[in-house]
């Protein structure tokens, strides 16, 4: 599966309320080994817009599923409530998780809360993944049920990019004032420090916020024939409008005068495929843009590891899973300096950020000129691999386990050590 995944400017809103104190980081607590699973008998409902086997699933779905599987491994019983694509079963079990699919991409936001209301006594914890629109679980769950809200990034500008103005305003109102009050007593999880900042600054979020980053699969390069291009540039991810993949495709034309051998490889699937294929067939880029579609893991890694540079043109990300996938194979990334991506790309170390006033093509050209030097290329490859090694799904799952256990009061309490004088008195 191809993994997925707003500029931090002033929104013109009143100054945010003072931040409540953040809770201490919980990754270590969840990771502590125990004879009895930490979440044995705990019943969890995970609410997410999509699930990983769906055609346009991305990083948010990977995150929700990996966390669910880890919670199962810690003894929890997990039901994953999501939308349903045509021909998908309404219910099935996979990886120890009970999947329940209902409604399309809009009706899901009505049917999932209704189902939860009817089965509210079944769950101790609800993990409500808010993809711009919440599932309103604090309203329909039992009062004693703990609700954890997961927000990958703020969607406000994204609403205006894809909906009529009147509908975008409704979306912003629900994501902002409505959700802010609805989840004010629910611990919130986000995946990067800049996303936490945007929640505070742009949405004036009231609840405590924990940062639990994405993990990354162990990516191993695969022996293969070199991919076309001198150099080769790759895009990895979903082919959807807000990823702006056309900007990456245009690099083949924009950089052609100075780099006639440059080829662009696009790995992924989605509704933008036909439009991109039409652009790739035009004379100015014909033969130098390659749309690979969905690739199995080994083939995807073969293309990615042979590329000189990974480029993502999205302006709406909570983190950017594909950035870390590329880094694990020693491939640096060029991305926009927006929330999430400014955390996953370390400017000048594991890649380059496109700042305000800069053009994507200019920054990519600068990056490729630096990478022409073999010593720079080797240094950045080492830095990328080290950086990617910091993120694992085990760490992500452990942090979420600790958070769930803390909400239920299940964190193990270590007895305080006696002062040295007290120990001597006991021994005497």
Contact predicate 117/138, CB 8 Å: no
Q: Reply yes or no on whether the pLDDT at 149 is more than 80.
A: yes
Whether 118 is in a domain gets the answer yes
d(CA 212, CA 209): 10
- Digit-coded pLDDT (tens) for 390-413: 999 999 999 999 999 999 987 664
12 — pLDDT class (breaks 50, 70, 90): very low
d(CA 249, CA 235): 9
Question: Strand 289-293's sheet: what is its strand order?
Answer: 289-293, 263-267, 232-236, 309-311, 333-336, 351-354
Q: Are residues 402 and 380 in the same domain?
A: no
d(CA 45, CA 166): 33
d(CA 236, CA 381): 18
Cβ within 8 Å of residue 129, ≥6 positions away: 46, 47, 48, 49, 60, 64, 150, 152
The H or E element containing residue 146 is: strand 146-150
pLDDT at residue 164, rounded to an integer: 84
Question: How many Cα neighbours within 13 Å face the side chain of 116?
Answer: 32
Q: Reply yes or no on whether the pLDDT at 419 is more than 50.
A: no
Handedness of CA 268, 220, 314, 205 (dihedral sign): positive
Q: Are residues 197 and 255 in the same domain?
A: no
What is the CATH number for 47? 3.40.50.2000
Q: Which two tokens stand for residue 291?
A: 């749309």
d(CA 306, CA 236): 13
Q: Are residues 126 and 208 in the same domain?
A: yes
Q: Reply yes or no on whether the pLDDT at 228 is more than 50.
A: yes
Whether 382 is in a domain gets the answer yes
pLDDT at residue 5, rounded to an integer: 39
167 — pLDDT class (breaks 50, 70, 90): confident
pLDDT at residue 316, rounded to an integer: 80
Cβ within 8 Å of residue 336, ≥6 positions away: 312, 313, 314, 315, 353, 354, 360
What is the average pLDDT value for the chain, to the nearest integer? 86
Q: Reply yes or no on whether the pLDDT at 421 is more than 50.
A: no
**Domain that residue 73 falls in:** 27-32+40-215+392-407
pLDDT at residue 221, rounded to an integer: 62
- Digit-coded pLDDT (tens) for 321-334: 899 999 999 999 99
Whether 264 is in a domain gets the answer yes
Q: What is the mean pLDDT of residues 157-166?
A: 77
Ranking 40-54, 160-174, 404-418 by mean pLDDT, the lowest is 404-418
pTM of the model: 0.80
Q: Reply yes or no on whether the pLDDT at 118 is more than 90.
A: yes
Strand partners, 147: 126
Q: Are residues 55 and 192 in the same domain?
A: yes
State the total domains in the chain. Answer: 2
pLDDT at residue 58, rounded to an integer: 82
Closest CA to 67 of 128, 155, 158: 128
Cβ within 8 Å of residue 139, ≥6 positions away: 113, 182
Q: Are residues 74 and 136 in the same domain?
A: yes
Q: Which two tokens stand for residue 118?
A: 């009817």
The answer to whether the peptide bond before residue 231 is cis (omega within 30 degrees of 0) is yes
Whether 8 is in a domain gets the answer no
Q: Which two tokens stand for residue 344?
A: 């996953």
Q: Are residues 149 and 78 in the same domain?
A: yes
Q: Which two tokens stand for residue 314?
A: 């999205």
pLDDT at residue 129, rounded to an integer: 96
**Length reported for the chain:** 428
Q: Reply yes or no on whether the pLDDT at 1 is more than 80.
A: no
pLDDT at residue 59, rounded to an integer: 85
Task: Report which of residues 268 and 219 the model is more confident about.
Answer: 268
Whether 225 is in a domain gets the answer no
Q: What is the mean pLDDT of residues 254-278?
A: 94
Q: Reply yes or no on whether the pLDDT at 83 is more than 70.
A: yes
Q: Are residues 205 and 289 in the same domain?
A: no
Q: What are phi and psi for residue 293, nearest 5 degrees? A: 70, -160
Rounded-to-5 percentages of helix, strand, coil across the chain: 40, 15, 45
pLDDT at residue 33, rounded to an integer: 47
Q: How many helices and strands, by DSSP H and E, does the chain display?
A: 18, 14
pLDDT at residue 222, rounded to an integer: 63
Cβ within 8 Å of residue 361, ≥6 positions away: 250, 251, 254, 255
Q: Reply yes or no on whether the pLDDT at 29 is more than 70.
A: no
* Other C-beta atoms lying within 10 Å of the C-beta of residue 131: 21
d(CA 182, CA 289): 47
């Amino acid at each position: 599966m191809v993994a997925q995944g707003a500029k931090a400017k002033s929104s013109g809103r009143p100054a945010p309320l003072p931040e409540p104190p953040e809770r201490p980081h919980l990754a270590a607590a969840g990771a502590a080994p125990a004879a009895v699973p930490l979440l044995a008998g705990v019943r969890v409902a995970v609410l997410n817009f999509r699930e990983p086997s769906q055609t346009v699933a991305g990083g948010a779905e990977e995150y929700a599923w990996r966390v669910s599987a880890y919670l199962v491994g810690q003894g929890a019983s997990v039901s994953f409530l999501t939308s349903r694509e045509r021909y998908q079963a309404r219910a099935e079990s996979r990886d120890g998780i009970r999947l329940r699919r209902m409604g399309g991409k809009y009706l899901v936001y009505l049917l999932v809360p209704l189902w939860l209301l009817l089965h509210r006594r079944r769950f101790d914890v609800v993990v409500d993944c808010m993809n711009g629109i919440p599932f309103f679980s604090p309203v329909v769950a039992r009062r004693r049920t703990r609700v954890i809200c997961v927000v990958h990034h703020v969607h406000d500008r994204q609403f205006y990019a894809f909906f009529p103005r009147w509908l975008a305003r409704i979306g912003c109102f629900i994501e902002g004032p409505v959700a802010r009050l609805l989840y004010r007593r629910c611990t919130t999880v986000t995946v990067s420090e800049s996303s936490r900042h945007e929640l505070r600054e742009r949405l004036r979020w009231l609840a405590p916020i924990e940062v639990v980053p994405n993990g990354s699969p162990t990516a191993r390069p695969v022996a293969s024939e070199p991919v076309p291009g001198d150099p080769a540039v790759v895009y990895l991810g979903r082919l959807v409008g807000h990823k702006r993949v056309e900007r990456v495709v245009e690099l083949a034309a924009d950089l052609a005068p100075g780099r006639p051998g440059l080829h662009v490889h696009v790995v992924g699937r989605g509704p933008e495929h036909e439009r991109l294929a039409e652009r790739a067939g035009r004379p100015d880029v014909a033969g130098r843009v390659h749309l690979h579609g969905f690739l199995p893991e080994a083939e995807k890694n073969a293309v990615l590891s042979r590329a000189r540079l990974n480029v993502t043109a999205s302006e709406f990300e909570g983190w950017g899973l594909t950035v870390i996938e590329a880094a694990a194979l020693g491939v640096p990334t060029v991305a926009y300096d927006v929330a999430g991506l400014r955390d996953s790309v370390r400017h000048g170390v594991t890649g380059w950020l496109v700042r305000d006033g800069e053009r994507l093509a200019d920054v990519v050209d600068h990056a490729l000129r630096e990478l022409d030097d073999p010593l720079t290329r080797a240094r950045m490859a080492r830095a990328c691999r080290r950086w990617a090694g910091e993120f694992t799904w085990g760490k992500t799952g452990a942090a979420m386990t600790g958070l769930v256990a803390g909400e239920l009061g299940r964190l193990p309490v270590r007895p305080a050590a006696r002062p040295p004088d007290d120990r001597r008195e006991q021994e005497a």
